[in-house]
Homo-oligomer: A and B are copies of this chain.
């Protein structure tokens, strides 16, 4: 109780670049954890992540009191505090719209459960795969998106459909009450203000890789 006022930054709005790094620290901490590490210093974490100790400490300060002076940070505690700060301790039903190869890859290989997401529906237009199984899910008809999303309280979705149906499927997701869309198509989506879109055009990653490798003097981890 007396401690609660000792966390000056814990409540402040977190900067976007910091949020991006926190998400990646989570991955690094898991690797450390599976290697049996129990404690990590800002210097070690920085070496693994590829930035500097000062930035790591600044980032972790946004979580409130996390480490022990002179000792470093407890790996599992830190992992939990980051998960909490990023809102990953709440649970959100998630859907995949488009069960082509990319949609399948996401459904089968992304560890949703671990990060507060429950993969609760998968949709496609192709009659020959509607009704078949993908992971633990039965693929449903794209036209059912609004009803199924409402029924299952789905609030997040990955959009992995072909270009030409991107906006159409987006409208269905929005109608279903989805509040965040991870857009893998090369279309800029039109959505209401209260719906968040994160654009992830894979070709952009390759473009930046090529740029970092051959054109950028100090290859950046951006």
User: Interface residues, chain A, CB within 8 Å of chain B?
Assistant: 13-14, 16-17, 19-20, 23-24, 26-28, 30-31, 48-50, 86-88, 90, 92, 94, 100-102, 104-106, 108-112, 115-117, 155-156, 158, 179-182, 186-188, 195-217, 219-222
Report A9 CB to chain B, min CB distance, Å.
16
Q: How far is the CA of A49 from the CA of B201 in the complex (A)?
A: 13
**Across-interface contacts of A16 in B (CB, < 8 A):** 216, 220, 222
A187 B87 Cβ-Cβ under 8 A:
no
Q: Is the CB of A199 within 8 A of B24?
A: yes
Residues in B with CB closer than 8 Å to A104 are 101, 105
**What residues of chain B lie closer than 8 Å to A210, measured between beta carbons?**
86-88, 92, 115-117, 156, 180
Is A23's CB under 8 angstroms from B188's CB?
A: no
A101's contact among B27, B101, B205, B211, by CB below 8 Å, is which? B101
- In the assembly, what is the distance between CA of A207 and CA of B21, in Å? 11
Q: A186-B30, A213-B180 are in contact. Are A94 and B196 (CB under 8 A)?
A: no
Q: Which residue of B lies closest to A48 (CB)?
A: B188
Cross-chain contact B156 with A222 (CB below 8 angstroms)? no
Copies of this protein chain in the complex? 2
10 CB contacts below 8 A, A to B, read A19-B222, A20-B208, A23-B208, A88-B207, A100-B105, A115-B210, A156-B206, A158-B206, A180-B214, A198-B209
A101 CA / B8 CA spacing, docked (Å): 46
- A202 engages B106 (CB within 8 Å): yes
- CB pair B155–A213 under 8 Å, yes or no, is yes
**A204 with B23: CB separation less than 8 A:** yes
A88 and B206 CA atoms in complex are apart in Å by 10
Given the complex, which residues of B lie within 8 Å of A92, measured CB to CB? 210, 214
What 16 additional pairs, Cβ within 8 angstroms, besides A30-B186, A117-B210, A180-B209? Answer: A16-B220, A19-B216, A23-B211, A24-B204, A27-B188, A27-B201, A87-B210, A88-B210, A100-B109, A117-B206, A181-B209, A182-B205, A182-B209, A196-B213, A196-B216, A198-B212
